[in-house]
């Protein structure tokens, strides 16, 4: 007996490590042009680089979740019917590009309501995480404002700030992909 032990690797132990990544996205100013309280479907304009960036994330099998404050209804700026028409337009514009979101989540409260779902609170993110049984380590957020950053920080996930500049979203999407690729390499 030489003290040498031979281990047989099972087929399962030879498989690649796989993370299921979930990206939380703000809507106005991140995915579509922020024109204020959007009441007309014709005002739904996808920002430059967004389609390409979302396709990149989807090509890596990332799950995409919209989390957005939409207090225009509570403020009386738009009706719930107008909101629904605009939201249908948003959905259809992205579907026409072959893109579908895994979930779409809105907070309609006013800031002074102090609810748990209005960003910078993390309630919308927590709701999705609980519903989909997501690991926090497999999450990140992309947004365009300090409240988006606050929601990510309050939940404890990485945040990327995006502007409405040409192709900014695509550049950020590449950074997000690289971030999770680096994590996968360190875990292997």
Catalytic residues: 26, 28
Nearest alpha-carbon partner for 145 in 123, 169, 162: 162
In this predicted structure, what is the pLDDT of residue 3? 37
Q: Per-residue pLDDT tens for 140-161?
A: 999 999 999 999 999 999 999 9
Could you give the CA distance from residue 125 to residue 24 in angstroms, rounded to a whole number? 7
Q: What's 1's DSSP letter?
A: -
The tokens of 100 are what?
A: 């579908």
Q: What is the CATH topology of the domain spanning 19-36+47-69+99-187?
A: Rossmann fold (3.40.50)
Residue 104, SS3 per DSSP: strand
Domain positions in the chain: 19-36+47-69+99-187
Residue found under tokens 């390409």: 52
Average pLDDT of the chain? 91
Backbone angles phi, psi at 68, to 5 degrees: -145, 135
């Amino acid at each position: 007996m030489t003290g040498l032990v031979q281990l047989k690797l099972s087929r399962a132990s030879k498989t690649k490590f796989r993370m299921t990544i979930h990206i939380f996205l703000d809507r106005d100013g991140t995915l579509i042009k922020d024109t204020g309280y959007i009441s007309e479907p014709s005002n739904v304009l996808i920002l430059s680089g967004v389609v390409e960036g979302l396709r990149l994330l989807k090509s890596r099998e990332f799950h995409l979740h919209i989390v957005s404050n939409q207090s225009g209804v509570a403020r009386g700026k738009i009706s719930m019917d107008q909101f629904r028409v605009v939201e249908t337009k948003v959905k259809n514009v992205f579907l026409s590009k072959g893109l579908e979101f895994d979930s779409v989540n809105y907070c309609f409260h006013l800031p002074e309501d102090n609810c748990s779902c209005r960003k910078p609170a993390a309630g919308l993110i927590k709701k999705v995480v609980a519903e989909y049984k997501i690991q926090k380590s497999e999450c990140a957020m992309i947004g365009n404002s300090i409240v988006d950053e606050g929601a990510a920080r309050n939940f404890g996930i990485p945040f990327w700030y995006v502007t409405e500049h040409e192709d900014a979203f695509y550049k950020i999407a590449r950074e997000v992909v690289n971030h999770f690729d680096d994590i996968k390499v360190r875990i292997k």
